[in-house]
Amino acid sequence: MSWEAAAWLMLGGSTILLFLGLPVAFSFLVINLAGAIIFLGGEAGLVQLVRNSVSSVTSFSLTPIPLFILMGEVLFHTGLAIKVIDGVERLISAVPGRLSVVAVVAGTVFSAISGSTIATTAMLGSLMLPVMLARGYHPVMATGPIMAIGAVDMLIPPSALTVLLGSLSGISISKLLVGGIIPGLILSLVFIGYIILRVKINPELAPNSEFEEFHGWQKFQPFVKYVIPLVSIFGVVVGAMLVGWATPTETAALGAFATILLALAYRALTLDAMLKSLRGTAGVSGMILFIIVGATTFAQLLSFSGASDGLVQIITGQGWPIAVVIACMMGMLIFLGLFLDQVSMMMITLPIFMPIVQKFGIDQVWFGVMFLICMQLGLLLPPHGLLLMTMKGVSPPAVTMAHIFRAVTPYVLFSMAVLALVYFVPAVAVWLPNLIG
């Protein structure tokens, strides 16, 4: 079979199955079975498929994934996340669009202590959206900031998807985790500035409402008691990686252990909460590891069939400047984000993109951070953005999909602007990772 036919079978077949609604892991399992029989030779190919599957999930580099997920699960099931919202809300007083600003700041804090974009969006949406709507906030102003900051969770460590991207692409996981910090913080600051400016121009979007004003120690108590200790976990995780004292796996273990200790210290960690956290961690981790099995074998079959080399030769043989090649890859990721989830995007594109990155000598961390921003965009892009569906799921019937699509549009544009900033100013993404020993 020619490499062209192999590419159509592997890439086209997997895409069709995904569009038909088959779960990601099963879509790639079907294609891998067919590919193993055709390209690796019947029964011997199936035996090799099993060996590849086992070796793909026994990698030590995947260990941070369940540990990062556990951190977020413990925070949400013990109720400490609600304490963070209270601590942030007391500090932010008289600013336009106050509750929207609180949502962005609280979401940024959650990004530093939780690795789940969906959990952050669902929690902020279920807790803050009813309050914002009751105080007269327009649905567009109420839902937009929550979805936008939920997507930023992917960029700021700890992030399970970042670990998955590093593992599948071969990019340094520690540098990739650190590389998303500055772009993520830039996005958070831009969101806050936009909310304040937008509400100043049109105060009806977020009417001023009375709120309980705290003074003295009462104002700072929840922040000092809950927010600072929890954010210190982020400081330990990132600091240990920056100075080279610990690997991502070791820092993830340290972060999970510190989160559990804090929950015990606050007397919030009950047996029921711990069991729910472990069940949630096992469920999400199992799904991710099952997907990794499919992704690794899929990439190997593409390479063995000659499809990867053939596609890379076509792209690199056009004589295009490196900047144009990178821009085309980012454009393809944004386009795929309209239809596919983030894991599917990685599985389909990385076997083709990474050989191109290596052939051209492109900085892998820089490319990886831009890849993360494109995946973050995919969470927000209509019509199938995962966070759009999450927001609709926790919203009252009065909030329509039209409201949600309108709400997310400016934040999508801001994310594209930050992608362009990283593209033209690589130091935004690589300065911090370059500090790692």
Range of the domain at 344: 3-435
Q: In angstroms, how far apart are the furthest CA atoms of the chain?
A: 75
Q: What is the mean pLDDT of the chain?
A: 82
Express each pLDDT in 172-184 by its tens digit: 888 898 899 999 9
Under DSSP, the state recorded for 389 is: H
In sequence order, the 6+-apart residues with CB closer than 8 A to the CB of 388 are 147, 380, 382, 401, 404, 405, 408
Q: Residue 21: count other Cβ atoms within 10 Å of its Cβ.
A: 7
Q: What is the 3-state secondary structure of 354-371? A: HHHHHHHCCCHHHHHHHH
More confident residue, 109 or 366: 366
Q: How many domains does the chain have?
A: 1
Residue 287 has pLDDT above 60, yes or no: yes
For 339, counting Cβ atoms within 10 Å of its Cβ (0-12 exposed, 13-18 middle, 19+ buried), the class is: middle
**Has residue 437 got a pLDDT over 60?**
no
Confidence of residue 428 (pLDDT cuts 50, 70, 90): very high
Query: What token pair was written down for 243?
Result: 């100075």
Q: Identify the DSSP state of 206.
A: S
The Cα 424–Cα 437 span in angstroms is: 26
Q: What is the mean pLDDT of residues 211-237?
A: 79
Q: Is the pLDDT of residue 414 over 80?
A: yes
Per-residue pLDDT tens over the stretch 17-45: 767 767 766 777 787 778 777 777 777 76
Q: What pLDDT does residue 78 have? A: 86
Q: Tens of pLDDT along 228-254?
A: 888 888 887 778 777 777 788 888 888
Average pLDDT over every residue of 384-409: 84
C-alpha span between 220 and 27 (Å, rounded): 51
| 153, 275, 290, 351 from 301: Cα distances, Å | 33, 39, 17, 10
Which of 371, 373, 379, 287 shows the shortest CA–CA distance to 341? 379
DSSP state string for 213-251: ---THHHHHHIIIIIHHHHHHHHHHHHHHHTTSS-HHHH
Confidence of residue 212 (pLDDT cuts 50, 70, 90): low
Structure tokens at 107: 């979401």
Contact indicator for 144, 123 with CB cutoff of 8 Å: no
Output the six-digit token pair for 142: 């109420």
Helix (H, G, I), strand (E, B) or coil at 52: helix
Per DSSP, 341 falls in state -
The more confidently predicted of residues 184 and 16 is 184
How far is 431 from 153, CA to CA, in rounded Å?
20
pLDDT of residue 185: 93
pLDDT at residue 323 in the model: 86
Look up residue 403 and give its two tokens: 């409201």
Helix (H, G, I), strand (E, B) or coil at 63: coil
Angle between helices 98-111 and 181-201 (to 10 degrees): 170
158 in Cβ contact with 126 (< 8 Å): no
